[in-house]
Structure 1
Amino acid sequence: MRTMQGWLHDTAGGLPRTFWYLWTGTLINRLGSFILIFIAIYLTQERDFSAAQAGLVLGLWGVGGAVGTTVGGTLADRWGRRPTLLTAHLGAASLMLALGFARDLWLIALGALLLGLFAEAARPAFGAMMIDVVPAKDRLRAFSLNYWAINLGFACAAVLAGFATEAGYLLLFVVNAVTTLITALIIFFKVSETHQPVVATAGGPKAQTGALRAILSDRVYLGFVTLNLFAALVFLQHISMLPIAMGDSGLSPATYGSVIALNGVLIVVGQLFVPRLIKGRSRSHVLALSAVVLGCGFGLTAFAETAWFYGLTVLIWTIGEMLNSPSNATLIAELSPNELRGRYQGVFSLSWQIAGAAAPVLGGLVREGAGNATLWMGCALIGGLVAVAHLISGPTRERRAAALRAVNQPAPPTPVGQQRATEAGEASLVTSPGSPPTENAAGAPAGEAR
């Protein structure tokens, strides 16, 4: 009993109350996340769209998401995390209902574009708020717990939605909208603003005007984001091409729901143990292993024909996903300057949205032009290349993270006598004409002092 209590405390103890409100909102929202799971099946079977038309709609969803994450990251830093989250969730809930009633292709395409924009605008604000409220030493387990909630909801949603389709697809849109609205209400009543504006000092960053330049000059971070983009192109095939492949094998939507639910079930069972498993290990090695396992899982899909074989492939690539998520989350937090957290989160989310737009289109083209087996073996090849890139670029990322931690670390308290002498020296600098302003190391712009 003591061992179990100790494990529970080490896993979930001591985290801020705001984190648990966010965690609860995540769980509720994901419990109703029916549409993203079944959108490909809905478009091809219920609306009788072709695979190319379905790919277009999914691609527009990704395009909207790309715009949403960019706008959401900027608003999270300028407007605040809380108002950005509320606006994004309320807009997403409204558009979810509108999309459920749309029938014409152009209306569904427009609805998917706008829904992607609002739904994904919440992502960078949410990530920035998590970093705001959770101390650095607790972020690995906090992000793991949040990821656990995402997948607990996902597993339940996949199974429930598979059966709910028998009552009509409109029910999926309604439930998804209601859970999104409940999440907005939790944020409205229980979550306060966490963003603390950074006061610019002489020689310090100009966070608002120089944000884009700072990010574009941060080659280390952009390289990390690029690797995530390629991994996401592989991973997101489970939403676009996997259900179509299972349909070609004669398997029903309910079977797809049950098979894909294995992804959430495995994460729910195992994700709470992953932080201990990878703690103290090289994040570059963990991310490389994750890419290899992810590629192998999707590569084996080329040989799947039965439900159990598809389920086996899902279990394999899920292990890769479990290793990837917490390492990614902590790296984003450590590579993001405090004053640009929202924007850095937005850029990382942008890689997912670009992949969301490109994955169904590229997957469909490869599948139709070169065959199903070529698509999945190509996924395996990409996974291997991403793994090699992580091993090569990892040491540089860790040096950047260490430098940024040192820059942002509060200075130790100065002894009283020394402090008086320092203050006297600073006073003489202030009164001396032509004295240059002192540099604020803690506010060095991204990409310059690390």
Structure 2
Amino acid sequence: MQLRLWDLNLKIRLIGEALFNMLFWMYFPFITVYFGTALGNHIAGILMTVPPLFSLIGSLLGGALADRIGRRPVMLFGACLQAVMFALFAVSPSHWIDYMAFIGLGLGGAIYRPASSAMVADLVPAQSRRQIFATFTTANNIGAVLGPALGAVFFFRFRQELLWSCSLVLLLYFAAIYFLVHETLPAAANRSKDSASLTRVFQEQWKGYGIIFRDKVFLVYTLAGIFALVSIMQLDLYLPVYIIHEVSAQPLFPWASGSLLLGSTEIFGWVLGFNGLLFVLFILPVTKWFQHWKERDVFIFSSLLSGVGTFALGLNSQLWFLFLATIVFTFGEMVRSPVTQSFISHYAPEESRGQYMGADSLQPTIGRFIAPVTVFLSSWVPPLGIFTLILVFSLISVLLYIQLFRMYVEKPESVK
């Protein structure tokens, strides 16, 4: 589906989300360092476990409301909340207010995302969804490549200016949604606007989620995704610990005399940047290569690539071998990314699509709780043991995906 043929809703969101995502990556990688410097690493580590809980609540709430009151109002609220929280962060006189603003940012983004994903599914024919989601992923990862490099300068030297810029961009994006984006909630969805109390509304939404979580196919899909994400999430968990403590300084080009010598921290930076660059360059072509693969095969192949690629990192600490292993596990993450959203978009009933999108956030949230076990165990278990554990998690996800598609037969993709 060519960009010029996209609905105006999608074009506005692609530009707005891409620009904001670059600003996001200018501050997010440095938040833990910021709070660690101000409050101590031990307290900062504990504090960082709380935001995922608020994000989970925000995702479930945002998904439920997107099916009840529409995609557009939920997206407006999420964008507005983030703009206000950035402004609060910018003027805050206290690190604890900074922390509350950071939680608010995560909450606003979590409320926004299910409605945003549901809007894509509303507008795009089933056979084009992978490509559309991949395009959004590409735009987001351009920010993930440029943001950290710029943020290393701006976050610590011009933090207030950066935060005000983020707030301004989100206010402009809010205005664009308000004036230009139209509602896409399907007619089949429950759009009743009765006088039920707010408590009754929340009771109805949680009842809806109870039905979703009793869906055995969705439950197996969620468990498989959690185990698959454990290996993918090591990029910013165990991988920096491993590289910084186990990989020695070495030249970037060992075959060239006088080549740039990289320390362990710089090596991790190069690996992280290489991962983001691969996403930007290859997410669209990779999605096109795999567009005719069955979802079952894509999920299984992704888990195998991610697990084997991450495991390979522990076999050799030579820089170019690390780059090679990075290519393998990055491609594992890459082939999976668009398919997860397209799977939910056509599996979920049309009238509950937002709720299913919200419930899908359980995968990264629970995965984010489980994945740090590798860092915890690294004090007693050697690196190869940790990487073997990561591989085992990936193999468990493969078995669960096999079971998933024994229970669920893929529907042929058809034009909406």
Q: 1:343 aligns with which of 352, 355, 361?
A: 355
The answer to whether the 8 A contact 2:189-2:350 is kept is no
Kindly tell me: are residues 283 and 198 of structure 1, through their superposed partners in 2, closer, same or farther at Cα, counting changes over 3 Å? closer
State the secondary structure of the residue aligned to 1:59: coil
Kindly tell me: are residues 214 and 81 of structure 1, through their superposed partners in 2, closer, same or farther at Cα, counting changes over 3 Å? same
- Match of residue 299 from structure 1: 311
The answer to whether the 8 A contact 1:294-1:318 is kept is yes
User: For residues 256 and 166 of structure 1, what CA distance do their matches in structure 2 show?
Assistant: 20
Q: 1:388 aligns with which of 379, 395, 399?
A: 399
Identity %, equivalent residues: 23
User: For residues 107 and 313 of structure 1, what CA distance do their matches in structure 2 show?
Assistant: 41
- Match of residue 39 from structure 1: 31
Kindly tell me: are residues 245 and 317 of structure 1, through their superposed partners in 2, closer, same or farther at Cα, counting changes over 3 Å? same
The answer to whether the 8 A contact 2:241-2:375 is kept is no
Deviation digits for residues 113-156 of structure 1 (CA, Å, limit 9, x no counterpart): 33322221111111111111112232121112111211122222
Alignment of 1:108-257 (within 5 A): 109-165=99-155, 167=157, 173-198=163-188, 211-248=208-245, 251=263, 256-257=268-269
Deviation for aligned residue 1:99: 4.4
Deviation digits for residues 373-393 of structure 1 (CA, Å, limit 9, x no counterpart): 443332222112212322232
TM-score w.r.t. length of structure 1 = 0.76
Deviation digits for residues 70-94 of structure 1 (CA, Å, limit 9, x no counterpart): 1111111122211211211221233
Number of aligned residues: 388
Kindly tell me: are residues 11 and 243 of structure 1, through their superposed partners in 2, closer, same or farther at Cα, counting changes over 3 Å? farther
Alignment of 1:408-423 (within 5 A): none
Q: Provide the aligned C-alpha RMSD in A.
A: 3.2
Deviation digits for residues 30-50 of structure 1 (CA, Å, limit 9, x no counterpart): 111223333334444x43632
State the secondary structure of the residue aligned to 1:73: helix
- Match of residue 327 from structure 1: 339
The answer to whether the 8 A contact 2:223-2:400 is kept is no
Deviation for aligned residue 1:18: 1.6
Kindly tell me: are residues 241 and 165 of structure 1, through their superposed partners in 2, closer, same or farther at Cα, counting changes over 3 Å? farther
The answer to whether the 8 A contact 1:234-1:295 is kept is yes
Q: 2:62 aligns with which of 55, 69, 72?
A: 72
Q: 1:60 aligns with which of 50, 69, 90?
A: 50
User: For residues 93 and 220 of structure 1, what CA distance do their matches in structure 2 show?
Assistant: 37
The answer to whether the 8 A contact 1:40-1:239 is kept is no
Deviation for aligned residue 1:254: 6.7
The answer to whether the 8 A contact 2:22-2:146 is kept is yes
- Match of residue 90 from structure 1: 80
- Match of residue 359 from structure 1: 371
1:23 aligns with 2:14: yes
State the AA in 2 paired with 1:389: L
- Match of residue 198 from structure 2: none
Deviation for aligned residue 1:214: 2.8
1:376 aligns with 2:387: yes
State the secondary structure of the residue aligned to 1:233: helix
State the AA in 2 paired with 1:237: Q
Deviation for aligned residue 1:341: 0.6
Kindly tell me: are residues 262 and 179 of structure 1, through their superposed partners in 2, closer, same or farther at Cα, counting changes over 3 Å? farther
Structure 1: gaps of 5 or more residues: 1-9, 201-206, 411-450
Deviation for aligned residue 1:97: 4.6
Deviation for aligned residue 1:257: 4.5
Range 250-259 or range 328-337, more displaced: 250-259
User: For residues 83 and 264 of structure 2, what CA distance do their matches in structure 1 show?
Assistant: 28
Kindly tell me: are residues 47 and 313 of structure 1, through their superposed partners in 2, closer, same or farther at Cα, counting changes over 3 Å? farther
Q: 1:287 aligns with which of 287, 299, 312?
A: 299
User: For residues 359 and 172 of structure 1, what CA distance do their matches in structure 2 show?
Assistant: 31
Q: Which has the larger radius of gyration?
A: 1
User: For residues 320 and 86 of structure 1, what CA distance do their matches in structure 2 show?
Assistant: 34
Structure 2: gaps of 5 or more residues: 191-203, 250-262
User: For residues 31 and 357 of structure 2, what CA distance do their matches in structure 1 show?
Assistant: 26
